[in-house]
Amino acid sequence: MPRRARRPRASTLLDRLAAEELIVVTGKGGVGKSAVAGALARLVSGRGRRVLLLETDPRESLHQYLAVPPSGGEIVAVGPRLLLQNLRPSAVLDELVREQLRLDALSRRVLSSPVYRHFADAAPGLKEIAVLGHAFRLVRGLARRGAPRIDLVVLDAPATGHGVSLLAAPALAAEVIRGGPFGRMAAELSRFVADRGSCAIVAVALAEEMPVEEALDLQRMLAERLHRQADLLVVNEVLPSFGDESEGSDHDDPLVSLYRRRRQLAARQLARLRRDWRGPVAELAMLPLDRGPELLDAISDSLAAQLDRPIAPEPA
């Protein structure tokens, strides 16, 4: 019987996120996905759950936020109830082959065959399914013996197109491959990511035209393909306000005028999100800090303050 951890009662958005099994943090390259994923992982582990912070980017960066050495592919403990892994999707696929084939000599032959290597590298959606499958198996207690107990995975999703390609991969595979162990796994994963009680989706954007466009695109595609919405949008690196910001107010110092202009452009994008984004929005200020623990502390504190407020129950 797969083990499922007892879930805390949901009353704030943070409680609700902490009650999930998977939180996918997605967004365009460089918008602060890793920072937000790291902060959320910390906050939900502070709610008593055993959390794995999972990244799949070979350029490991989460360890810098956590001030620990690179995890090198293994699951390593980085704090109370907080674990970190930099996952190579191809390693998960190899492990699945080994499990399914069981016979060592046979799996060795498959793993070393050029056909398998080519398939594993090129088949669309396979790596995405491997990553989601890895998270699913861990939180459901289905992973190989000796795997640590994990209640919740926070996935720092790779910055490829819209996060939708990651989230829609199982449904697309399940449509094509019906039955068999792979088809069944794909169908199960597609239900898993579509279920808002199991999987939360957190989008990260900047208050600029293109990232906002992408966030709204993500919202549309989630509705079309997964019949669900995201749970939170984090607008990162918002410039703090200072002084009079009315449009057209010029200043002697061109740098001040430039700053105001940037603030005004950002304000328009924030207004657009307020109008078109369905669901909670959190804002994070642009901080004069480098990637590292201090930045992570500040982002964690700001998110905690914004997400730990009581929320109205969502309409069914």
Q: Which is nearer to ligand ATP, 281 or 286 (CB)?
A: 286
Q: Which of 153, 159, 189 has the alpha carbon at shortest distance from 172?
A: 189
Q: At its nearest, how many Å lie between ligand ATP and the CB of residue 297?
A: 12
Give the pairing type, strands 82-86 and 51-55: parallel
Is residue 153 within 8 A of residue 166, CB to CB? The reply is: no
29 belongs to the binding site for ligand ATP (CB under 6 A):
yes
Question: Binding marks (x or -) toward ligand ATP, 240..279, rule CB under 6 A?
Answer: ----------------------------------------
CA distance 23 to 226: 15
Instruction: Confirm if 205 and 27 have CB atoms less than 8 A apart.
Output: yes
Cβ-contact 19, 10 below 8 angstroms: yes
Of the two residues 28 and 33, which places its CB atom closer to Mg ion in the complex?
Answer: 33
Among 3, 30, 58, 108, binds ligand ATP (CB under 6 A): 30
> Of these partners, ligand ATP, Mg ion, none, which one is at the site of residue 236 (CB under 5 to 8 Å by kind)?
ligand ATP
Which of Mg ion, ligand ATP, none does 32 bind, CB closer than 5 to 8 A by kind?
Answer: ligand ATP
In the bound state with ligand ATP, the residue whose beta carbon lies nearer, of 231 and 237, is 237
Using CA atoms, how far apart are residues 225 and 219, in angstroms rounded to an integer? 10
Q: Which is nearer to ligand ATP, 35 or 143 (CB)?
A: 35
26 binds ligand ATP (CB under 6 A): no
Binding mask 158-197 for ligand ATP (x = CB under 6 A): -x--------------------------------------
Q: What track of x and - describes contact with Mg ion for positions 17 through 36 (by CB under 5 A)?
A: ----------------xx--
With a CB cutoff of 8 Å and minimum separation 6, the contacts of 49 are: 5, 8, 18, 81, 151, 152
Of the residues 107, 236, 269, 300, which one makes contact with ligand ATP according to CB under 6 A: 236
Choice from 7, 117, 220, 291 touching ligand ATP (CB under 6 A)? 291
Task: Check residue 287 for interaction with ligand ATP (CB under 6 A).
Answer: yes
- Looking at the Cβ atoms of 54 and 96, the one nearer to Mg ion is 54
From the list Mg ion, ligand ATP, none, pick the one residue 190 interacts with, judged by a Cβ distance below 5 to 8 Å according to partner type. none
Crossing angle of helices 209-221 and 164-176, in 10° steps, is 30
By CB under 6 A, is residue 32 in contact with ligand ATP? yes
Q: Which is nearer to Mg ion, 185 or 202 (CB)?
A: 202
Which parts of this chain interact with ligand ATP (CB under 6 A)?
Answer: 27, 29-35, 57, 61, 159, 236-237, 284, 286-287, 289-291, 295
